[in-house]
């Protein structure tokens, strides 16, 4: 037995002596990850781009006593096209693809990183696997050669979502959600399930005179966002739920990918998929929340939500900090000459424009939470 990495063996793996076949340890079944997300180091001025190795080492140490973590490590300089790559682009840089047992496990993971290692990590919204079925068409030839046509594939990374002009159908993963809540909150629970597109085949079963069981088929993408938080809110904390595999596991749906742009640059980790009927409302909600949590810069920050096809469906604008260039040392520049004042204002405007073209917007965990709690 030769383990080159810590992740080559898990807790209580079955080990045998090579010559005597003596059993050295008993086996245990590891937990399968419920959801996956990308984890990136927090970027700052002191440690800009150099925190990936430190984060990777800390996560590997956490995984030693947390069997629920499933870590896929990719090197910072890797150019591989492996599906486990979690390159966050110019805004986040390299990261890790980590499997969790649920949203609560994500919060515990972030808190342990901060308490035990002093690291602040950015965790992107959970990744949902979508089954993309390509239809016959001239734009559907993908791959290295024109003869390689993909008819069906599972897409988890939204940067690989089909472009506009490609004919395809989307099948989203489905789960069966079982909610147990007090009878007094039955109306709120049924309204929440309906809002999460789980109204079809919904059944209610009385458990006792005070508690009801609600069962419904629901898209997995609606469950892993903020369903737990909203359920606790609507039931005053008394509601609980669990999920099992849906039947069928995938269902055809009219979904739309929404790209979030900051100063005309697409931020892939902030992109999300939603139903076409809910796209305008959710896009406005995300843009408004980003307007509240993104820090104000020395340049104007334009937040836009773009649907497939290039149509802007929501937009917000964060004003830049503005220095009073007409006053210096308590004195008014240019005196009463309006031409001199206009020259100073135009010079400031050109400088702000240059900063906007090359400025970098810092993302925080609150920005990703805006996408998670968009509905």
Q: Which residue has the tokens 């690291």?
A: 119
pLDDT tens digits for range 274-300:
999 999 999 999 999 999 988 888 788
Question: What stretches of the chain show up as alpha helix (H) in DSSP?
Answer: 52-64, 89-92, 103-117, 186-195, 220-223, 227-234, 279-293, 338-358, 365-372
CA distance linking residue 251 with residue 171, whole number of Å: 5
Residue percentage of the chain with pLDDT more than 90: 29
Q: DSSP label at 162?
A: P
Instruction: Judge whether 173 and 166 are in contact, CB under 8 Å.
Output: no
Query: Looking at residue 283, what is its pLDDT?
Result: 93
pLDDT tens digits for range 233-269:
999 999 999 888 888 899 999 999 999 999 888 888 8
pLDDT, greater one: 73 or 190: 190
**Ranked by mean pLDDT, which of 121-135, 177-191, 259-273, 286-300 comes out on top?**
177-191
Structure token pair of residue 353: 């424009």
- Band (pLDDT 50/70/90 cuts) for residue 33 is low
Give the mean model confidence (pLDDT) for residues 7-23. 59
């Amino acid at each position: 037995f030769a383990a080159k990495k810590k992740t080559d063996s898990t807790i209580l793996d079955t080990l045998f002596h090579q010559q005597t076949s003596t059993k050295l340890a008993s086996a245990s079944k590891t937990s399968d990850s419920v959801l996956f997300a990308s984890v990136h180091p927090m970027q700052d001025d002191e440690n800009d781009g150099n925190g990936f190795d430190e984060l990777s080492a800390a996560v590997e140490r956490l995984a030693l006593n947390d069997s629920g973590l499933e870590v896929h490590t990719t090197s910072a300089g890797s150019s591989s096209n492996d599906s486990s790559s979690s390159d966050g682009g110019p805004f986040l840089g390299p990261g890790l693809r980590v499997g969790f047992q649920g949203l609560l496990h994500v919060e515990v993971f972030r808190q342990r990183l901060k308490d035990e290692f002093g690291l602040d990590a950015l965790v992107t919204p959970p990744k949902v696997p979508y089954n993309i079925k390509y239809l016959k068409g001239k734009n559907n030839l993908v791959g290295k050669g024109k003869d390689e046509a993909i008819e069906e594939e599972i897409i988890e990374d939204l940067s690989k979502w089909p472009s506009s002009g490609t004919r395809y159908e989307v099948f989203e993963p489905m789960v069966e959600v079982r909610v147990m809540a007090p009878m007094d909150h039955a109306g709120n629970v049924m309204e929440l399930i309906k809002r999460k597109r789980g109204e079809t085949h919904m059944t209610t079963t009385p458990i006792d005179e005070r508690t009801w069981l609600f069962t419904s088929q629901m898209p997995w993408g609606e469950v892993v966002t903020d369903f737990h938080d909203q359920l606790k809110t609507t039931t005053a904390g008394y509601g609980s739920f669990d999920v099992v595999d849906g039947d069928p596991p995938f269902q055809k749906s009219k979904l739309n990918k929404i790209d979030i742009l900051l100063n005309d640059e697409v931020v892939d980790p902030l992109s999300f998929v939603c139903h076409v009927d809910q796209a305008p409302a959710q896009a406005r909600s995300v843009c408004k929340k980003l307007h509240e949590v993104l820090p104000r810069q020395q340049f104007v920050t334009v937040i836009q939500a773009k649907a497939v096809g290039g149509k802007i469906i929501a937009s917000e604008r964060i004003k830049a900090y503005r220095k009073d260039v007409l006053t210096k040392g308590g004195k008014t520049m240019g005196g009463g000459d309006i031409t001199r004042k206009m020259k100073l204002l135009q010079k400031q405007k050109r400088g702000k424009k240059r900063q906007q073209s090359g400025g970098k917007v810092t993302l925080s965990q609150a920005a990703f939470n805006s996408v998670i709690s968009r509905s």
